[in-house]
Amino acid sequence: MTITSDGFLHKYFLSNSTKRLHKWVHYFDIYERHFSRFRGKGPVMIEIGVFGGGSLAMWREYFGKDSKIIGIDIDPECKVHESDGVEIFTGSQDDPDLIKEIFKKYPLVDIVLDDGSHMMQHMVSSFELLYERIQPNGIYMVEDMHTCYWAEYGGGLRERGSFMEYAKGKLDELNAFHSRDVLPVSTFTKSTDCIAFYDSVVVFERRPQGMRQALITTAMNGMS
């Protein structure tokens, strides 16, 4: 596996001796590829799912002292993991009132990482509550997508309602301009640059989109 950037996150994980930190090793390359542009720029990040608090501490260290790391978890005991630059909100990831509360305090969010319940209905609801609220050049990442194939999480291969099938539908929405009016050009179409799929991870990169243009270039007259 090739570690992009300076491999900070991978090294941090391997040398971690403080709070519990549980990650699939191949995630670190994905994190660095998509998150490195925010390092040292004081981003605001929401991570859904706190548990042992180790990843919140990791993100704070990775992004720098001016960053704000926000955790969401249903367990009130997770508040013990708050620290300088790290704030934890108690509640369900699909609670509209909780999301409004967070964005009232932090109106400009750069990154959302869903590492929460991994239940299909929660993943879809969280995306629909959060995606269009994050800043126009932000990132929405969902990990542990393998649960999309597990029945106990509401998933299954090509199961309607799974987040994997939902994300596949977003591929069509991304290309709605070319659908000859079968699909409407949506806010998602206009605000999304790319969707990247990895083993167990999907990443949505936001970026305002302009009119699609197909140009033709050729040689000047009399020249080959």
Residues forming the active site? 118
Integer Rg of the chain from CA: 19
Residue 116 sits at φ, ψ, to 5 deg, of -90, -125
Residue 51: Cβ within 10 Å count? 18
- Tell me the β-bridge partners of 194: 205
Amino acid present at 48: I
In whole angstroms, give the CA distance from residue 110 to residue 21: 22
In this structure, the strands spanning 44-48 and 111-114 are: parallel
Cα separations (Å) of 123 from 117, 164, 194, 210, 213?
A: 8, 10, 19, 29, 34
